Amino acid sequence: MNDIVFSPTSDAIQQLEALYGKFDLRADGSGPTQGWEGRNLREYSLERRLRYFWAPGSYLTKIRINKRMASAISQVLGEINSRWEAKQAEKENLDVFVRSYCFGCDSEPNAFWYGAGWRLSPLVTGVALEEVIKVFTRHGFTWAGATDKRRRDFYYL
């Protein structure tokens, strides 16, 4: 059976769709169609494995992201990996992955629904946080914490 395609609409969503393509939902609204995921998402292999925030003791070697931000996140992670050796990155919690693609995880559609966000661990603080913010913004990400210092979200818009 073919999916019936429809999209949520708002000004914010229209802006996201201008960048990432029309967000096609399954008929039951449970997530994007396989066609949309196939056109827009890719599996990204990590140079250095990341600890998964939601499952302590679990490590990730691949993540799903929007193909549009693949180059930018590669540059960000490459810079983090070259600046902080593995042991130092672990000490600063820079090796903790929270999320990059998450349909329906927020009440309103946002960059995470499109695989175009990166949530930094809330365990990253102090100088490491200040430096990582600079790394992300240098590579084209917008930091959501600019208006709310508690936020650890970065959007590739």
Q: Residue 44: its pLDDT value, please?
A: 97
CB 102 within 8 A of CB 96: no
Q: What percent of the chain has pLDDT over 70?
A: 94
- Has residue 12 got a pLDDT over 90? no
Buried b (16+ CB within 10 A) or exposed e, 34-60: eebbeebbbebebeeebbbbeeeeeee
Q: pLDDT grade, residue 5 (50/70/90)? A: low
**Higher confidence at residue 57 or residue 5?**
57
Q: Does pTM top 0.95 for this prediction?
A: no
Q: pLDDT grade, residue 69 (50/70/90)? A: very high
What is the tens place of the pLDDT at every residue in 30-49?
A: 889 999 999 999 999 999 99
What is the tens place of the pLDDT at every residue in 111-153?
A: 999 999 999 999 999 999 999 999 999 999 999 998 888 899 9
